Each structure stands twice: as structure tokens, then as C-alpha cells.
Structure 1
């Protein structure tokens, strides 16, 4: 089952690719993420960031500074591995590898839980990441992917419930 979930997440990553990305795109995605989270009263921190700069940041009622830090660490994992933080964690776990010291991802700066998702551009690759934190791991992941999918006009992107 773990490998099937990894494959499903990898498929999301392959499909959720933008034609372009700039400040306006980041703002639109960030606002859509915030609206989606607010509609379900999700106590989350939301960030969109590249290795060099922050494009969007928001917190919703109930989010804590810990959520903001977890979001930062999820983004760091995504920018280091070029894959979602959830997939990275599942893959390392399947191989029996620990985040530290095996993989070299220090706990202070990285985390292997859902909510970090790559922002990829066609013909370029991963250029930024979304970080959502405050819900259970899978729900943080699904909030990011559902918002990217809606932005792209894709509506069959959710992870299968049985995985």
C-alpha cells in the first residue's frame, strides 16, 4: 500500500505543473489556498516560497507559531528533494532510512510530513514550494494539491481514499 501511495503522489507531482510562475501566480494560489482553508475552518499556516524569497504567507485562526515553523521545514524538504514532503517521507520510510543522520535532513530545518508540495513550471522544473501546516499530514498535502488542481482546471487529482 505504501508504494501505491508513493506512486499516486508522484502522479500528482507530474500532473500539477504550471505553464508559468511569478508574483501574481503566487498571490492567486496563496489566496485560493487561504479561501479553501477558511471555508473548512482549517487552523493552518500557508506559505509559498522559493529558495531565495517568500512569495506569500498567511495564517488562519487557530494556527500557531509551531505551524509556521513546520510549514517552513516542509518547504525546505520539498526544495531539497524536488518532491512533496509527504512523498519524501514515505520513500525514506519504505527504505528504512531515518531523516537524520541517514538522509542528512536535520530536524531543526526539515520535516517528512505532508504539506510541502513543489511548484513546478513546464520546461523548467521545481522553482518554489507550497507549505501548509496545521492539519493532519495527509490533509495538509491534499489542501495544497486540491488548490493547485483547481488552478489548473484538474478535478480528478485527489489521492485514492483506500491508500
Structure 2
């Protein structure tokens, strides 16, 4: 549990949480359209192909799926992870990574171990990120599955940063 962390480990966790919060604040759109979804999804796909990464990508505006792509080496199980990550983003209005980092601090156990959360429906692992419009809030989700969860998250941040020019 987080309460068992050394002061140095707790400081590192707090710094990571602050970094992810800053990413979510910085990576917001002024508008989000079907074309944005296509360009962002294609950018993620090309990046993954260049790196030899087997990932599934999903971009949704509300409940409408605008982009979905599964690269060679993935399976239907990646789609299960995608849905869990998307539900987490929609439920908490934050990236699945941030939720997973904060949960033990706020509730003294992981998201998946919370008695009121269905671990088959939600995930505190990285790879789900809110698509937010500045001044409006979360309007959709972008999710990646197939890599270690910190790398799924980092790939989304990298693509959004490039797409938004920040």
C-alpha cells in the first residue's frame, strides 16, 4: 500500500502524480472533431509500426468510436483492456494512469481491489487518457493497449503533445 512507502518513494510518487496532472492540463483541445481523431489515430499507428509495437488504439467522442485499429501481434484481449481503461477515464474524468496512481493514496487500496469497483469493468493501469476541450471538460477518450501500462500512457502523451504542438 501507499501508506507503507518510504518518504523518498512517496516524494517520487507525488512528483509522478503532479507530472500526469500537468500533462492532462496541458494536453487539451480547443475543439475535437472526427478529423482530429483520424489524424491522431493515424499518428499513433504509424509511430507504433515504426517502433515494432503491437498495440490496439481506440479514440472515442462520447460513446461514439471514431478510430479503432489493432496492429499485428494484438488480440481481442487488448480490446477488453481498452474498454476497462475507457470506462475508468469516463468514470473519474482523468487518465486511467492518474486514477491508478492516486487510488491507493485516497482509499488505501488499488482501484481493482476497491469493494465498490468491478475489476473486470475498470482499470487503474495507464493507457486511457481523457480527450478534453479547454473550458468544456472531457468529451471523449483515447486508449492504447499492448505495451507495459506506463509506456501505453507515454505513447498517448507523446502523440497528443505532437498533435497539439505543445
SS of the equivalent of 2:111 reads: coil
What residue is the counterpart of 2:83 in the other structure? 72
Tell me the TM-score normalised to structure 2 length. 0.88
Aligned length: 154
**Shift, 1:100, TM fit:** 4.8
Bigger proportion of residues as helix: 2
User: Larger C-alpha radius of gyration, 1 or 2?
Assistant: 2
Runs (5+) with no aligned partner, structure 2: 1-11
SS at match of 2:48: helix
RMSD (Å), alpha carbons: 1.4
> What is the CA-CA distance between 1:103 and the residue it aligns to?
6.7
CA distance in 2, matches of 1:121, 1:152: 12
**Of 9-18 and 36-45, the range deviating more from structure 2:** 36-45
Secondary structure of the residue aligned to 1:27 is helix
Partner of 2:24: 13
1:86 maps to 2:97? yes
Superposed displacement of residue 53, structure 1: 1.2
* 2:44 matches 1:57: no
Equivalents in 2 of 1:54, 1:103: separation in Å?
30
CA distance in 2, matches of 1:103, 1:146: 34
Question: Residues 37-56 of structure 1 correspond to what in structure 2 (within 5 A)?
Answer: 37-56=48-67
Query: Using a 3 Å threshold, how does the CA distance of structure 1 residues 86 and 30 change in structure 2: closer, same or farther?
Result: same
Separation of aligned partners in 1, 2:105 and 2:152:
21
Query: What is the CA–CA distance in structure 1 between the aligned matches of 2:27 and 2:159, rounded to whole Å?
Result: 10
TM-score, scaled relative to structure 1: 0.89
Q: Which stretch shows the higher mean deviation, 44-53 or 79-88?
A: 44-53
